[in-house]
Chains A and B, each alone.
Chain A
Amino acid sequence: MLILSRVRFAFAHHTVLHDITLDVREDGINCLLGASGGGKSTLLRVTAGLLVPDEGTVHITPEDCAVVFQDPRLLPWLTVEENLALALPARLERRQRDRAVAAILEEVQLAGLQKHLPDELSGGMAQRVGLARALLRRPRFLLMDEPFAALDAITRSELQQMLLELIRRQRVTCLFVTHDINEALAIGDAIFVLRGGCVAERFDTGDSLDPRRLRERLREQLLEPPEPEKVPS
């Protein structure tokens, strides 16, 4: 499914994204893999409509997207329930709101934590609330910006499993930014290597490529020097 066509984006005079076209796998996890400063987060923000591209077209509307940021970004003065309610329509009746919040908390295994404040939650719990808030919007596209990068290995693995199940159940198309090859291999249905502001290559994990070879290939791709002139895929 084509979501971006020939997108270019620059901060002041520094071009971050060069002519990017992104054709993602629907109802699956599409990992955007790249080193720090490679424009992954910018690409995600352009897709979400949070940044306007200088050139090119975004084919999806911001209303269809929900974003999970690297830090959970829960408003510290609102309870879990109130933070989640921000993702629901303002005019929703209280009873319906409570029901929706309780259901999504159950899905992310945080049932009963409605009245807690963000500083009473662990990092992993807070990120689950962040994920729950994004899913409450019933998005077609779930855009995640290194959401598990700050978590310990065990929590990260738990959340990756949870994400896989949720994506399968809710049938959303996920764009998942990461710099971790193992994470991309663990959850990605398709992996886009972003280098020097261009999509250098796309891999589908269902392809016949043996996982070890794929890992090596990804590592080589990430380590190659950037080639901004390269025609993107």
Chain B
Amino acid sequence: MFARIRALLTPFLALLFWQALADSGWVSAYLLPAPLTVLDTFFRLYASGKLTLHVHSSLFRVFWGFTASCLIAFLLALLVCRFRPLEELLTAPLALLRMIPPLAMVPLLILWLGIGHATQITIIVLASFFPIFLNSCAGLRRVTAAQRELANSLHLGWRRYYRYVLLPAATPSIVTGVRLAFGYSWRALIGAELIAASSGLGYLIIDAQGMQRTDEVIVGILTIGLIGWLLDQLFSWAVVRTLGRRFAELRA
């Protein structure tokens, strides 16, 4: 109980400080609107349906982009770990691609795919591919020699080997990769929406800046943080609930 109160203490103090700073008149309301003004703007944007529309747009892109990324990265990791030559062929191009920030691809993607969902979803795939791919590869190599020997001695077919040995051994790594990748993709999406979108939370922010509505900018920023945090908490909760008993590493 006390721990929970302590955890809320810092945000509460920060809010108080922010409100005091805004009330003092030292900073103009244009540069830093008061928390209560921001709260008011939040309800106004929500009531008008504008906020819901942009949140929906961002979540839609993240959902599809992230799902696609999980599938592509995991399947490629399976193939790479199964076929050595493929790993050798892909090492150099993947190492190069990994060093390119997804946002650097935006100009090209706009040319190829236009401004819209396709560009945003591609950015999400690019941003979240590597954490999932690299962690899946590491996980798929975690089967120990002893576990392989056991599988051989039990004469497990490849289907049972994948289902009961290989994939469970890789699960903690994959989960870590997916969680990391979600954070990356959420941040990259907002970045991409700031540059090349006509809807979404990133667009809401850049549009509000154009209209000189700093309060709306702050509403956008806080909504991004809040949704990202909520989804991350939801993911962790679901992981602990479904996998925590079987995988001690995921309980923490």
Chain A contact residues, CB within 8 Å of chain B:
45, 48, 50, 62-63, 65-67, 69, 71, 73, 75-78, 82, 86-87, 90, 117, 119, 133, 137
Contact = CB atoms under 8 A, between A and B. Distances in A.
B93 to A, nearest CB: 34
A69 to B, nearest CB: 7
Nearest to A45: B149
- Which residue among A50, A66, A75, A137 has the maximum number of chain B CB atoms within 10 Å of its CB? A75
A86 B147 CA distance: 13
A75 B168 contact: yes
B153 A75 contact: no
A86 B154 contact: yes
Given A62-B155, A117-B245, A90 B150 contact: no
B154 A87 contact: yes
Nearest to A85: B164
A63 B155 contact: yes
B165 A90 contact: no
A82 B153 contact: no
Nearest to A82: B164
Contacts of B164: 75, 78, 82, 86
A77 B153 contact: no
Q: Please give me the 3 A-B residue pairs with the lowest Cβ-Cβ distance, nearest first.
A: A77-B168, A67-B153, A77-B246
Contacts of B159: 90
B150 A78 contact: no
Given A50-B153, A62-B155, A117-B245, 16 more contacts: A45-B149, A48-B153, A73-B150, A75-B150, A75-B164, A75-B168, A76-B246, A77-B168, A77-B171, A77-B247, A78-B164, A78-B168, A86-B160, A86-B164, A90-B157, A133-B154
The range of chain B's interface size is 20 to 34
B7 to A, nearest CB: 31
A69 B168 CA distance: 21
Interface of B: 146-147, 149-150, 152-157, 159-160, 164-165, 168-169, 171, 245-248
Given A71-B146, A77-B171, A90 B160 contact: yes
Contacts of A66: 153
A137 B154 CA distance: 8
B164 to A, nearest CB: 6
Given A48-B153, A67-B153, A73 B248 contact: no
Contacts of B146: 69, 71, 73
Contacts of A86: 154, 156, 160, 164
A67 B160 CA distance: 18
A96 to B, nearest CB: 17
A58 B152 CA distance: 17
A75 B144 CA distance: 11
A50 B149 contact: yes
B198 to A, nearest CB: 46
B171 A73 contact: no
Contacts of A117: 245-246
A103 B185 CA distance: 51
A119 B160 contact: no
Nearest to A71: B146
Contacts of B246: 76-78, 117
Contacts of A45: 149
A87 B247 CA distance: 22
A50 B156 contact: no
A117 B248 CA distance: 11
Nearest to B149: A50
Contacts of B165: 75
Contacts of B169: 77
Contacts of B247: 77
Contact of B152 (A50, A77, A78): A50
Contacts of B156: 86
A119 B249 CA distance: 13
Interface centre among B154, B156, B165, B171 (most CB of A within 10 A): B154
19 contacts: A45-B149, A50-B149, A50-B152, A50-B153, A65-B153, A69-B146, A71-B146, A73-B146, A75-B165, A75-B168, A76-B248, A77-B168, A77-B169, A77-B171, A78-B164, A78-B168, A86-B164, A90-B159, A117-B246
A76 B147 CA distance: 11
Given A73-B146, A73-B147, A119 B154 contact: no
A133 B152 CA distance: 14
